[in-house]
Amino acid sequence: MALLEVFAADGALARVLPGWEPRAAQEEMARAVGQALDCEEGLVVEAGTGVGKSLAYLIPAALWAVRGARRVLVSTHTRALQEQLIGGDLPVVARVLAELGLPLKSAMLMGADNYLCVQRLTNLRLRPDAASGEWAETLTRLDAWSRDAQSGHRSALPEALPQSLWERVARDTDVCLGPAGPAWERCLWRRDRERAEKAHIVVVNHALLLSGARLPPFDALIIDEAHNLEEAATSRYGSEASLGRVVALTDEARLAARLSGDAALADAADAAQAAGAEFLRGLAQDHGLSGAEDEASGRLLESAPSSAPAALLTLEQALASGAAAAEGRAWEADLRSLHARAAQLDADLAAILKPAPATARWVAWGRRGPELRAAPLDVGRRLAEGVFSRGVPTVLTSATLASGDGLKGFKTRVGLPDARELALDSPYDYRTQAALWCVDGLPDPKDEAEHAAAVAATCAEIVARVPGGVFLLFSSWKLLKKVHALLRRRIKNRPVWAQGAAGHEALLEQFAEAGDAVLLGVDTFWQGVDVPGPALSCVVLVKLPFSNVGSPLEEARRRYLEEEGGDYFRDWSLPKAVMKFRQGFGRLIRSGRDRGAVVCLDSRLLRKGYGKAFLSSLPPCRRIEGLDELAAFFTPRADETTPA
């Protein structure tokens, strides 16, 4: 049966998925993915909201893998999408292939520290302090559960564990004894790994894909949520060394020293903490930093010692000696884990302190004290030489990838400049479902108090005229906090929540259930949020989402691009802002029945020449002017039904 017959009105997909209807864009994407796999090509696909891109790549990938006894690796940025694919979409794909007489096997893998380690759990239960402490009953329940569990992934555990306990029982590759260990037969990670090695489709996340960890061999790679790939690579290929990290390591080393009776280790931990704190604070102060800032950005590391304090290396050596002396004892695994952490801290510090080409180095002062960071500025080269150097067909996809130059800029930035490209519009009717209001005349943001008051007043008026829920998206925590405080005093008839009041997923669930709440968010709420229906009726973009040009990473990037003959604003800042602007707009219409308005409070959209780049990137929709037109948009005409 041909691929497109699966997507026909009477095809296999229609038979296994009640209510599914053929979509031309979904079929076109499936055909393009199938061709890329067959021809071993690179492909970048922007598939607008509603195209159904998950099935459009999973079905051709599954057919290609099963028929050819191959394996396809699918990578996502978020855990939510990873679990949606493995728990929702892939079972549908398996039923489709079963209609064709083809068996599909799929599996999910995450980083090692996302799995319960039976060996560490057993060792912890043997320790007197744990056996009689506050964790005793939890450890007993976990042990009983693990004996019949099929997966040790943290999300599968029978109860939520505090992070302090999870760090003691999570899998740690540095202390894993492998097949030689007494717990290997009960190892839950091994079971997930064995399933992955037998699977046709393995779902991972970007962090694991980029980590260098050993993955099951694969014959093709599909990266969903590809708009996050640059950020994920910048983070994964970078380094960090903070006072918080030093303190956590040395505090745990002292505890291990007390339990093992190792006085030398205790002394080494004390010396390392004092030396590490003095070193990091001194570097921060040398660069004009003396405490945490609201918008912690830091300073470029213009000068620094060539090596870290010797006391940190001494601690690493003391932990190695302590682990060797504790062989066979209950605390050996903890000491080996601490030694691996100390070695990694020393390696990260060395990498940061040594200047390297195309690398940003900076010092900042966060909530847990001073920190040093380094990040690559040539992510595309790193990806091309790493994950994309395997010579397998590769597909990158997302709902928003293009900017003013289409997909060309994105392909270059991620190291796939020669990949074929496909842009598919959303099937939704934005002309009737969506409206856009560009507000002009708010005070200059340089006057922070006046600007915050005006933003709050305008947002309160907008909320009063919108019957459903409202998202207020910011690019600054400082402004968000000010506006949130003002809105809580002005809006009394509906909930007004701000990001950080609860966990990300819990806050979104509360927002969707409320139906008319107001939610203020930054960064992560610009993307990956799916709230269909009137529970999200209006999205307010407070400012155009340009990166903070005052941050050391952006300053280093500006210098690097100019040295390479590029233009920071044209080649980086504007394309990235346009992409994020489109992501913010995309929060609004999530189904064919949604109806809502986007309001932008940044007058630069109308007054600056580059405003056209933002406006032209949006789908055609109704333009409105003023609060009365906004209210009228949400008042159904006689010939309309009430939006659902």
Q: What is the domain partition of the chain in residue ranges?
A: 3-105+199-219+392-424, 112-193, 239-375, 430-633
- From CA 319, how far away is CA 315, in angstroms rounded? 6
Rounded Cα distance, 528 and 203, in Å: 18
Confidence of residue 128 (pLDDT cuts 50, 70, 90): low
Largest CA distance in the chain: 82
Contacts of residue 633, defined as CB under 8 A and 6 or more positions apart, other chains included, come to 435, 597, 622, 624
- Residue 446: what residue type? K
pLDDT tens-place string over residues 425-478: 999 999 999 999 999 989 888 888 999 999 999 999 999 999 999 999 998 888
Q: Are 75 and 233 in contact (CB under 8 A)?
A: no
Instruction: Please determine, for residue 600, whether its predicted confidence score (pLDDT) is greater than 80.
Output: yes
Average pLDDT, the chain: 88
CATH number at 430-633: 3.40.50.300
**Distance (Å, rounded) from C-alpha 541 to C-alpha 585?**
8
The domains spanning 3-105+199-219+392-424 and 430-633 adopt the same CATH topology:
yes
The pLDDT of residue 502 is: 66
Sequence-ordered alpha helix ranges (H) in 388-476: 408-413, 430-433, 448-465
pLDDT score for 291: 75
Give the residue, 161 or 320, on which the prediction is more confident. 320
Answer whether 571's CB lies under 8 Å from 380's CB.
Answer: no
Beta 359-366 vs 299-300: how paired, if at all? antiparallel
Radius of gyration of the chain (CA): 27
Determine the pLDDT at residue 641. Answer: 47
pTM of the model as a whole:
0.87
Please check the confidence at residue 149 and state whether its pLDDT lies above 50: yes
Question: How confident is the model at residue 436, as a pLDDT?
Answer: 95
At 194, the pLDDT band (50, 70, 90 cuts) reads: confident
Over the stretch 19-28, which tens digit does the pLDDT of each residue have? 888 899 999 9
CA–chain centroid gap for 294, Å, is 22
Instruction: Determine what percent of the chain is predicted with pLDDT higher than 70.
Output: 95
340-361 average pLDDT score:
94
Q: What number does CATH give the domain 3-105+199-219+392-424?
A: 3.40.50.300
